[in-house]
């Protein structure tokens, strides 16, 4: 499988691409009877699925950190009367919650 992104972080888009490409290569192998293409397709599909799941887990973990950090900032802001910190904490919390929902394992 080729590099995921410039920083070698897992990426959902490239994971999906390699998963679908692997399925196509395997199908061509099935049609032609080429065991090498079948195996190559299965391997690329599995690598793509693994990359997608790794990116999904990373996104979920980042969402959790934003959600918790945002909640902390909102509480500290509320206790100290810093409405700007409270508001930015609530925004960060909501952003983290949305990121968790997008990356929720299925």
* Position 5 pLDDT exceeds 90: no
Helices vs strands, H then E, count in the chain = 3, 0
Q: If residue 40 lies in a helix (H) or strand (E), which one and from where to where?
A: helix 35-80
Give the CA count within 13 Å in the CB-facing half-sphere of 31.
Answer: 7
pTM of the model: 0.76
Q: How does pLDDT run across 63-96, given as a tens digit for each residue?
A: 999 999 999 999 999 999 999 999 999 999 999 9
Q: Which structure tokens are listed for 33? A: 């009877």
């Amino acid at each position: 499988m080729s590099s995921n992104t410039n920083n070698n972080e897992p990426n959902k888009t490239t994971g999906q691409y390699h998963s679908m490409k692997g399925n196509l290569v395997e199908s061509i192998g099935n049609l032609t009877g080429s065991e090498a293409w079948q195996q190559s397709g299965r391997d690329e599909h599995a690598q793509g699925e693994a990359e997608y799941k790794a990116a999904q887990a990373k996104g979920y973990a980042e969402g959790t950190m934003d959600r918790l950090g945002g909640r902390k900032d909102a509480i500290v802001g509320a206790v100290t009367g810093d409405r700007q910190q409270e508001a930015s904490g609530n925004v960060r919390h909501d952003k983290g919650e949305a990121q968790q929902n997008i990356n929720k394992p299925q």
